[in-house]
Structure 1
Amino acid sequence: MKIEKFAAIDIGSNALRVLVANVFTDKNGHVDFYKNSLIRVPVRLGQDTFTLGEITNGNIRRIIKAINIFKNIIRIHKVTKYKAYATSALREARNCDVIVELIKNKTGIMVELIDGVKEASLISSVRFFENIDKKLNFLYVDVGGGSTELSIISNGIKIQEKSFKIGSVRLLNNYVDSDIWDEIKDWIKENTNGIDDLFLIGTGGNINKIYKITSSKNDNIITLNELKNFKNIIYQLSYSERIIKYQLNPDRADVILPALKIYLNVLKWSGASKILVPRIGLSDGIIQELIIKKLQN
C-alpha cells in the first residue's frame, strides 16, 4: 500500500482552513483518503466584503500570516500535492486580484477564486455521495458564509443546481436582497414538484455543529422536530450564553442563528422531514479533486 499526503486550503467567508489528508492507494489501484489534520483560523472576510465591498488591510495581513502558517504545516507534513481555493468573500471583493497576487508574492501559494456552483460540485464529488441510495431523491444544500448552494439529486444524478447570494455572514450583516427568500422558495418548489419522499443533505460548518449538539444517535441525521426544538432553545439564549452552553467558538455563536434559519426554510419549502449530515466540506472536495487528477494522470 502506498500512502502520501495531500492538502487543501479553503479561504472562506467566515474562516480560513487547511486540511491535510492521508491518501492511500491499495494493491488494486483503489485510492481513498482520511483526515490527518484540520486547522481553522477565524478570519471573517465576509464582514469586510459584504459591508465595505473590499477586504481591509488588517484582514489582508491576517490572510498572509495564516497562509504562511498553512504553508509551513504543508511542509512539515511533507505534502506532495495541494490546492488553494477562495469562495464568495474574496471573490466578490473589489481588491480580490490585488490580494491574490499579494498572497502569491508573500507566500508562494497560488489561490484560485471559485464560484458557488464549482464549490457545490467539489463537495458533492466526495466519496460519501457515491454511497447514497440511488433510489432516493435528495435536495443538497450547502450553507456558507456568503452563499448557499442548492442541488437536486435524483437516481444518483445531479439534475439541477443553483447558487444564491445568501449565507450566514451576509444575513448577520443584513446584506441580503429582500427578494432572495422568494427566489429560493420558488426554485425549490419548481424543481422538487412531483418528487416524492425528498431527503435533504446538509453541509457546512453550522449544520455540522448543530448535528453535534442535537444528535443523540450516530446516524448522521437531524429530524425537522429536532431542528425546531433546537431553534426554540437557542433563540432564547444570548450570544454569551450560546458560547457557554454549547461550547461554541465566538465566530460560530453568532452565525449559527442565520444558518439555522436557512436550513429550516429549505426544509419547509421542500417538504422534507430530515437532514442527512455527512460532515464534509469544501476541503474534502478539494482533496477528492486532487485524487481524481492523480488517477487521470
Structure 2
Amino acid sequence: MNDDTLCRADPEPRGSPQEPAMTMARALGESPVDGSGVYAALDLGTNNCRLLIACPANGSFRVIDSFSRIVRLGEGISSTGCISEAAIERAIAALIVCRDKMRARKADRLRLIATEACRAASNSESFRSRVAAATGIELEVIDRETEAALAVVGCSPLIHPKARGAILFDIGGGSTELVRIERDREGGEPHTKAWMSLPIGVVTLAERFGGHDVTPQSYTAMIEEVTANLGAFAAQHGFNLYGMHLLGTSGTVTTLGGLHLGLARYDRRKVDGIWMNDIEITQAIARLCGMDYQKRVANGCIGAERADLVLAGCAILDAIRRAFPLPRLRVADRGLREGMLVEMMREDGVIQLN
C-alpha cells in the first residue's frame, strides 16, 4: 500500500456536523435550525454534484427534491494539481441550481460537503471562496474517514438482515472507500470493523490508463494498479468472510445493475437494492468490455457523461472482487447524501437510532 492510502480499524465516532450546517443555513439566508424542518444534503464529488432534500417521515425521511449533475471537478487534477477554470465554472453552475432548490424548498438544516477533488487540489481554498461568493454555499471538505463513515450510515440498511456483515465499497471519481461492516450477533446493529481509502477513483484511473479506448491489456493494468493498493488491507481483513456479502455504491455498480436488468434507460427505483451473483457481475462487466466507446455512449444506462469512466470503475470492482471473493453483491443507489440526512435527523431527535 502506498503512503497516500489510509487504513484504519475501529475509527472513533465522528464529530457533530450541527455547527457547520447552521452556519451554511445562515449564509443562504434561511431560518435557524429547529430540528423539525426541511433537510438538505449536498455532495460535491470529483465527478458528480448531488443534492437531496428531505423531510422526516415515519422514522426515516421522505425525499421532496433532488438534483444530480456530472461536473468533473477533478478533471486534470492528477496531472496539474489544480481544479481547472472550466471545472470551476461547471461546478458553480450546478451549485447555483442546488442553492435555488434549497431556497425554494425552504431547507433550514443543511450539510454541504466536498470530497477528494477539494482534498487534493492546491487551489481548493480559492475555489471554495469563489463558490461562497457566487452561491452563498460554504463547502465543508470532509476527510476520507468521514466519507467512509457517511457511506456506512447511508448504505447499511441494505445489508441483508441475516448476513453477518458486508464489505461496503464506494467507487468515487478521485478515491475509493472500503469498509468491513459486521454484526456481533444475529439481528444486531452492524458496525464498522475496519476501513480504508484508496486515492484512486474512476477519473484518476481513466486519466492514467485511458477511458475511451480500453484494451484488454490496459484493463488488466488498471486491475493490477488497484490490487497493489488493496494488498495490505485485504491481507488484514479479507479472511473469515462466511455469511457476508459485497455492498456497492457508485455509478459503476448502478450501471452494471441497469445492464443486468436490461433497462433501456436507467431507473433508480428498479436498481437500488437488487442482488447480483458473481456470474451475473462477470457477465455484465464482459458486456461492457465488449462495447466500444460509441456503443457505451449510446447505451441508456451509461451515456456520454460516463462512457469514458465506466470501465475504470469496473476494473476497480474487479480488484475488490479478487481481494474479497464473495458470491453476491447488493447494489446501492444511495450513499453520502442519505448518510448526512440520517445523521442530522438523528442529532435533532426527529428519527431514532435503530
With over 3 angstroms needed to count, the CA separation of the structure-2 counterparts of 1:178 and 1:149, relative to structure 1, is: same
Instruction: Give the SS at the match of 1:126.
Output: helix
Alignment of 1:272-291 (within 5 A): 272-291=326-345
Q: Does 1:171 align with 2:199?
A: no
The separation in 2 between residues aligned to 1:279 and 1:85, in whole angstroms, is 18
Q: Deviations over 1:176-229 (max 9, x none)?
A: 897652230331232122332431111112212211221378761111111111
Q: Does 1:142 align with 2:170?
A: yes
- Matched to 2:150, the amino acid is L
Of 107, 117, 137, 1:109 maps to 137
- Matched to 2:44, the amino acid is I
Question: Is there any run of 5+ residues in structure 1 with no aligned partner, and where?
Answer: none
The separation in 2 between residues aligned to 1:128 and 1:191, in whole angstroms, is 19
Alignment of 1:220-231 (within 5 A): 220-231=274-285
Q: Does 1:213 align with 2:259?
A: yes
Alignment of 1:12-23 (within 5 A): 12-23=45-56
> Normalising to structure 1: TM-score of the pair?
0.89
> Normalising to structure 2: TM-score of the pair?
0.75
With over 3 angstroms needed to count, the CA separation of the structure-2 counterparts of 1:248 and 1:193, relative to structure 1, is: closer
RMSD, matched Cα = 2.6
- Matched to 1:250, the amino acid is A
- Matched to 2:194, the amino acid is Q
- Matched to 2:287, the amino acid is I
2:233 maps to 187
Q: 1:127 offset after TM fit, Å?
A: 7.0
Q: 1:247 offset after TM fit, Å?
A: 4.2
Of 234, 238, 241, 2:295 maps to 241
The count of residues paired between Structure 1 and Structure 2 equals 291
The separation in 1 between residues aligned to 2:97 and 2:127, in whole angstroms, is 17
Of 235, 256, 259, 2:310 maps to 256
Of 40, 47, 70, 1:42 maps to 70
Q: Does 1:203 align with 2:249?
A: yes
Q: Which moved more, 1:213-222 or 1:183-192?
A: 213-222
- Matched to 1:14, the amino acid is N
Q: Which moved more, 1:123-132 or 1:5-14?
A: 123-132
Alignment of 1:21-170 (within 5 A): 21-24=54-57, 31-126=59-154, 128-129=156-157, 132-133=160-161, 135-155=163-183, 156-170=190-204
With over 3 angstroms needed to count, the CA separation of the structure-2 counterparts of 1:127 and 1:203, relative to structure 1, is: closer
CA contact (8 A) 1:152 1:159 kept: yes
Identical columns (%): 24
The separation in 1 between residues aligned to 2:110 and 2:311, in whole angstroms, is 33
The separation in 2 between residues aligned to 1:130 and 1:149, in whole angstroms, is 17
Instruction: Give the SS at the match of 1:251.
Output: coil
Q: 1:10 offset after TM fit, Å?
A: 1.0
- Matched to 1:19, the amino acid is L
The separation in 2 between residues aligned to 1:56 and 1:276, in whole angstroms, is 36
Q: Deviations over 1:73-121 (max 9, x none)?
A: 1111121211110010122100001111221222211100012221111
2:40 maps to 7
CA contact (8 A) 1:148 1:163 kept: yes
With over 3 angstroms needed to count, the CA separation of the structure-2 counterparts of 1:247 and 1:151, relative to structure 1, is: closer
Q: Which moved more, 1:5-14 or 1:211-220?
A: 211-220
The separation in 1 between residues aligned to 2:276 and 2:337, in whole angstroms, is 23
Q: Deviations over 1:138-166 (max 9, x none)?
A: 11111111111111112122111111111
The separation in 2 between residues aligned to 1:263 and 1:59, in whole angstroms, is 27
